[in-house]
Structure 1
Amino acid sequence: MTTLVITGTNTDIGKTVVTAALATLARAAGRRVAVFKPAQTGIAPGEPGDAHVAARLAGEGVTAVELARFPEPLAPATSARRAGLPPVTPQAAADAVRKLEAKYDLVLVEGAGGLLVHLDDEGGTLADVAALLDAPVLVVAAPALGTLNIVQLTGEALRARGLTTRGVVIGAWPHEPGLAERCNVRELAAMAGAPLLGAVPEGAGGLDPARFAADASGWLARELGGTWSAEDFTAAADRT
């Protein structure tokens, strides 16, 4: 796998931290890694965007690449239009990834919000980028009430486009999960039509890079380079 596309069921659910964990484990395995953000919104000039945050957490040796930045915290197409700036098209994003693939062993493409958020006014989406690249998609989901519907819709949208769902990762598992979170653990894989491949603890993004690197393996499954077990995690959630 040269490229992995990371999408979410919503915004602010932990995509960037999951991306950082993926980068951390890939670097530990000796792979050259780039984190690519096609369109960053809501960040002022000079402030670190999601790709840079992921690269910082992952530690030295991970490259952050941002194709475009738009000032207002809106969908990329809307933010670009309001700023009078050219939007990012799926083709431009795919072309940029292809160039990175020539230099890196793994390119992690982090989307903005959900799978079908518009990148441009023609309705281009992250799903189109994944299709152009023929790349699998990892879905980052919230664990709380309401997530099952969105996870199933995302899985159905991916299958309808002939795309491969690599799996689902819980973006921020609470320290004290409630009934909905505990029950949802058993349902997420079935809703997505793909395996549950990890759970990142709430607050992991606030760790220093050394601690983040030490803990990341325990958050992601073997298929993603870690040691996390869906069976063990589900059993523990049942006992909580």
Structure 2
Amino acid sequence: MILVVTGTGTDVGKTVATAALAARAPGSVIVVKPVQTGVLPGEVGDVDDVRRLAGCQVSEFVRLPDPLAPDSAARLAGVRLPTVAEHASRIRRLAEDFDTVIVEGAGGLLVRLDSADGTILDLADALSASVVIVVAAGLGTLNHSELTVGALRARGIEPAGLVIGSWPSHPGLAEETNLVDLPRVTNLPVLATIPAEVGSLGRSAFTAAAPTWFA
């Protein structure tokens, strides 16, 4: 199984959501980050956080130092990014050795993943992958979620569902209302609601709690 995890934007809790999905996936699991930006060599990146939380194997294909969209960061660094087709080929090879491959995107669905305008959407399409969308809890999430779902459906991809990636400990009116309205406006289930603070947990506590966040 290949699962692509995308978000409605940056800072919606995509990495912790990816770790939670990995923690409850059956069989052998690897999490792949095709392009990591904003992290220098030797620094902790998203896959390192996933490995710390979920304890699964991870793979990062390309790392770029500037905190920008992958194609912009690559252009500034003078680096050629692999094409979506090259990423897809490498991920398919991993799928031969693992029961589940979870691919964590960068930013939102239409962020350019390579230097030829290929996107996370193109990668999901090329892989015929299931797609989970990580969404914010607060104001603006209904619009962002509908736009992301609409872009997937326009490509003929029906998302598996939504994950609220960072649920506040004291939700307000917007958050409580969005919990009801997200499935209504997207016609998709909310698969999980992940508490905001769980990224600081140790591995044992995280993996023990992860199943309780899913519907």
Q: TM range, normalised to the smaller chain?
A: over 0.9
What is aligned with 1:53?
A: 49
CA drift of 1:97 comes to 0.7
Normalised TM-score (structure 2): 0.97
Quote the Cα distance in structure 1 between the aligned partners of 2:186 and 2:115.
28
Contact 2:83 2:115 in 1 (8 A): no
Quote the Cα distance in structure 2 between the aligned partners of 1:106 and 1:122.
28
CA drift of 1:10 comes to 0.9
1:175 aligns with 2:174: no
1:137 aligns with 2:137: no
Q: 1:117-171, CA deviations, whole angstroms, 9 ceiling, x for partnerless residues?
A: 0112321100100101101110000010011000000000000011120100100
Quote the Cα distance in structure 2 between the aligned partners of 1:103 and 1:4.
15
Paired residue secondary structure (1:203): helix
* Paired positions, count: 215
Paired residue secondary structure (1:165): coil
1:9 aligns with 2:3: no
Contact 1:116 1:127 in 2 (8 A): yes
Q: Which runs of 5+ in 1 are unaligned?
A: 222-240
% identical aligned pairs:
49
- Structural mapping, 1:90-101, within 5 Å: 90-101=84-95
2:173 counterpart letter in structure 1: L
1:158 counterpart letter in structure 2: L
What is aligned with 1:23?
A: 22
Paired residue secondary structure (1:46): coil
Quote the Cα distance in structure 1 between the aligned partners of 2:92 and 2:80.
21
Quote the Cα distance in structure 2 between the aligned partners of 1:186 and 1:41.
34
**Deviates most, 185-194 or 128-137:** 185-194
- Structural mapping, 1:118-137, within 5 Å: 118-137=112-131
Paired residue secondary structure (1:139): strand
Quote the Cα distance in structure 1 between the aligned partners of 2:34 and 2:158.
20
CA drift of 1:52 comes to 2.0
Aligned structure 1 segments of 4 or more residues deviating by more than 3 angstroms: none
Q: Which runs of 5+ in 2 are unaligned?
A: none
Quote the Cα distance in structure 2 between the aligned partners of 1:21 and 1:142.
16
Q: Which has the higher contact order (CA 8 A, sep 6+)?
A: 2
